[in-house]
Amino acid sequence: MKNERTGPGFTIRAMRPEESDKVAELIYESTNQWYETHGHNRIFQGKWKDCRIFTDVYGDIDPGCCLIAVTGDETILGSCFYHPRKTHVSLGIMNTHPAIGRKGVAKALLIAIMDIAKDQDLPVRLVSSAFNLDSYSLYTRQGMAPFAIYQDVMINVPESGVEVDSIPGISIREARAGDESAIDALEGEIWQTSRQGDWAYFIENKRGIWHSTVAEDESGAVVGALVSVAHPGSNMLGPGLAQSPQIAAALIQTELNNHKGKSPVFLLPANNRELVSAMYALGARNCEMHVGQVLGEAPEINGIVMPTFMPETA
């Protein structure tokens, strides 16, 4: 591997497919342990196998794009996913084994991914928890800077569902194959980002866990899109995009109706009072805060952007 590097007592290399279970177990143990020892609830409430969703989905979209830190006897000390796109490289979930914190494992993984982006002259983006100063600091120590603040909210969706706002001139429908190119064009307008392959992957839904909705104007132009995932390892709305907070609210309401009786989480741009207020009116409760960070040029956001964690869509 071109970006293979070594640290004190470990080597960074690409994860092999047969190591997926071990990485899933590491994600589960490391993330849950961090939250529990910092006074929060476990993030993954089920079994470690649920975290196979990370290796499976990243494996579908970007085979070979998970780096691990291994000792001489091949013990996995840390892992991090990355997601190379046309406009940037996105950094996915980063984990170090709970027993070996502060030995430079995460820093070495991060630098290896930054080198991959540098080779392609692309910015690196991610979303990091504002609760988690360990990860916030890890990234900012390497030169990343915040460009957006998001509120993570949770809504208990009644079994009867929620009402969807009607917006004059806007229709909401299920996304279909072929929509990805219009969504990609909209994403370019809203925040100079391109990830058409991701949208095609969500719409195709070969794992049966995604649902995607689009909003169209009277001319049939796509003016918003929102995906959601329903899996024991991730029950979230996002990624999403919309030209206005009204369109975003209608897309969210529509996707919530695919999660009746459940409590999905989603990220709202904290500076958009109109959308935040509309979600409070629906019963949204804040559960965490996230920071969009970038190494390189920050995107200018002209509309609504809702990132997600899996796959990472900063």
Residue 104 near ligand COA by CB under 6 A: yes
**Region of 14-22, 48-56, 96-104, 278-286 interacting with ligand COA (CB under 6 A):** 96-104
User: Is it true that the peptide bond before 311 is cis, omega within 30 degrees of 0?
Assistant: yes
Provide the mask over 137-156, with x wherever binding to ligand COA is found by CB under 6 A and - wherever it is not. xx--x---------------
**Region of 50-58, 94-102, 171-179, 263-271 interacting with ligand COA (CB under 6 A):** 94-102
Q: Which of residues 171-190 bind ligand COA (CB under 6 A)?
A: none
Contact 53, 230 (CB under 8 A): no
Q: Which is nearer to ligand COA, 7 or 299 (CB)?
A: 7
Q: Which residues face 54 on adjacent strands?
A: none
Integer CA distances (angstroms), 87 to 90, 108, 117, 156, in order: 10, 24, 10, 35
Contact 213, 255 (CB under 8 A): yes
**Region of 28-36, 218-226, 230-238, 272-280 interacting with ligand COA (CB under 6 A):** 28-36
- Taking alpha carbons only, the member of 179, 309, 172 closest to residue 231 is 309
Q: How far apart are CA 156 and CA 259, in angstroms?
A: 9
Contact 276, 151 (CB under 8 A): yes
Q: How far apart are CA 122 and CA 228, in angstroms?
A: 27
Residue 96 near ligand COA by CB under 6 A: yes
**Region of 97-105, 180-188, 200-208, 268-276 interacting with ligand COA (CB under 6 A):** 97-105
Given 18, 39, 73, 102, the residue binding ligand COA (CB under 6 A): 102
Q: Which is nearer to ligand COA, 75 or 181 (CB)?
A: 75
Q: How far apart are CA 188 and CA 194, in angstroms?
A: 6
State the Cα torsion 30-226-194-274 to the nearest 10°. -90
Cβ contacts of 73 within 8 Å, gap of 6 or more: none
Q: Which of residues 106-135 bind ligand COA (CB under 6 A)?
A: 106-107, 128-129, 132-135
Residue 55 near ligand COA by CB under 6 A: no
**Region of 8-16, 29-37, 176-184, 295-303 interacting with ligand COA (CB under 6 A):** 29-37
Q: Which is nearer to ligand COA, 155 or 236 (CB)?
A: 236
Q: Which is nearer to ligand COA, 203 or 310 (CB)?
A: 310
The residue ranges that bind ligand COA (CB under 6 A) are: 30-31, 34, 78, 93-96, 101-107, 128-129, 132-135, 137-138, 141
